[in-house]
Amino acid sequence: MKQFVITRLPLLVFLVAYVIFSVVTFKSYGITWDEPRDYGRGDDFIEYSLGRSDIDISSQNRYQGYLLYNSSYMAFNSFVTKYLFQAEDFAYRHLVNLLFASLLFIVLYEILLLASGSAMLSILGPLFLFVTPSFTGHIPGNPKDIPFAILFLCGLYLIVVGSRIKNSSFRILLIGLVFGLAIAQRLLGVQLLVIYLLYSIYKTAVLHKKISVHDIFRAISDTSLVTVVALFLLLVTWPFLAANPLQHGKDILLASSHYPWTGTLLHFGVNYKASAIPWFYLPGGFAVQVPLYITLLLGGGFMIIKRILKYEIVQVLLVTIVLNIAIYLVIAPVVYDTIRHYLFMIPLFVIISVLSLYELVRALQTQVYRNRGSIQALFGATFIVAIMVSFGLTAAQFIKLHPYQYVYHNELVGYVQGASGQFETDYWLASYKEAAEWLQQYVTLSDPNKKVTVYVSGSPYSAIAYLNKERFTQVKSLEDADYLILTTRSRSPRATEDFEVVHNVGRGGAVFSEIYKRR
């Protein structure tokens, strides 16, 4: 017990710091584009489960919301926010999201501790992930992709440690429930079943030095039982699926593979239709939004691939990465908002990068010991210094971009200032909170009793929620407005010459939203 506590002291310190960060900052994040609808589904699910709802969420309805999405996490967030925190404010929903993400940092630490046995090395995992603005910035206001990333990593962890659970019934139940929760959040979670089956066969082959038909049958049988548990959880938490599993299951798969999103996407300065994005859309997004120190470490890891392949978790992660590359290229799912739908890959990159750093340092120590003046030793030392510098620069960007860390772009494109006009930045419209609060103060100072009209592009609620409803009236056309709040996102309507800019919201030299006043 004492050793257990000692090896987790770094994690405990990190978690305390993270909780303090969450409590201090949770009120600074704005309502993102999809949040009202997402949490609304969670509220509906709770009411439906209690028999108090007149909305039939077991059939297809507006926005196809209950067809396309399972609302289990949204319901969890609603329950904690409303019944435990006794709050209706979106800020407390953000706090729930932030605190729930603690599980991700814990699992990340445990995976690295299992692989390396070093507490000091393992803490680099949570640190690297936290100082990845394009990931951490999504935690408060993205209740879809971040919970999936958390549950997906939990699933991968259980795949590796599952064989250590002696009680087979408990193991199947636990893994099945976690897999089911991941699939409920995003259908991409189905791949966990494939990875589990492949890993079971591989583990048996390594253990017995051979593989037999009996071993394959046992692996398939084990995976089938896990699938049954996962499916049971899906039926319990997805009324639409439970109403008609076969037909509605088919509807869900068809709707998910042909998601009805028809917007345009700004990528390397070119606007693409969502249905016609180039193959390099996702790789290009990772190249410019993943911190350079992680990218460098991934590259360094491939230079010493034999060293890092000795880690069982790395083998599983590489299979997972290859599988997702195949899904992206072959199935070609609708992807938008750059890397948002594939945020779950970033913790995988972090694990590989930390273990790569560990092995690179060990290799460097060997080179220095054998030949202190070697070119390899000098190159290795320079590489480690570059990693440290990049980490420091990324941390500085994290602070500078607050509370819009998710718009982060790395050094390759000149940070967010260079990315502006080349890529989508504040596509969630999180900056509307700051814009609305400024507008309210501006109008109040000019005339405390004046009533005005305001037009908001994109997601009006993201701004209207922060305006005094007795003094500000939302209108649906620019012609009827005294003020405009517009996003700089590529497909937003542009103000006419009847308006002038009075304020803008941005960070790091990039503008995210603008406030216009009628001349």
Q: Residue 373: what pLDDT?
A: 55
The more confidently predicted of residues 212 and 413 is: 413
Report whether 436 contacts 502 (CB < 8 A).
Answer: no
Angle between helices 72-79 and 168-185 (to 10 degrees): 90
Of 68-77, 125-134, 406-415, which range is least confident?
Answer: 68-77
Q: What is the mean pLDDT of residues 334-355?
A: 95
Q: Residue 59: what pLDDT?
A: 61
DSSP string of 271-290, one letter each residue: EEEGGG--TTHHHHHHHHHS
Q: Which residues, other chains included, contact 511 with Cβ-Cβ below 8 Å and sequence gap of 6+?
A: 420, 488, 504, 505
Tokens representing residue 322 in the block: 């290859």
Report whether 132 contacts 291 (CB < 8 A).
Answer: yes
- The answer to whether the Cα torsion of 334, 104, 322, 188 is positive or negative is negative
Q: Residue 57: what pLDDT?
A: 65
Q: pLDDT per residue over 50-84, tens digit each?
A: 887 676 666 655 444 555 567 899 999 999 999 99
Q: What is the 3-state secondary structure (H, E, C) of 326-387?
A: HHHHHHCCCCCCCCHHHHHHHHHHHHHHHHHHHHHHHHHHHHHHHCCCCHHHHHHHHHHHHH
428 residue type, one letter: W
Q: Residue 49: what pLDDT?
A: 84
Q: Residue 63: what pLDDT?
A: 42
Residue 81 DSSP symbol: I
Residue 84 DSSP symbol: I
How far is it, in rounded angstroms, from Cα 65 to Cα 34? Answer: 11
Share of the chain above pLDDT 90, in %: 67
Q: What is the mean pLDDT of residues 467-471?
A: 93
Report whether 243 contacts 58 (CB < 8 A).
Answer: yes
Of 40-54, 225-239, 396-410, 453-467, which range is least confident?
Answer: 40-54
How far is it, in rounded angstroms, from Cα 15 to Cα 306? Answer: 33
Q: pLDDT per residue over 413-463, tens digit each?
A: 999 999 999 999 999 999 999 999 999 999 998 888 889 999 999 999 999
Q: What is the mean pLDDT of residues 480-494?
A: 83
Q: pLDDT per residue over 25-49, tens digit each?
A: 999 999 999 999 899 889 888 888 8
Three-state SS at 490: coil
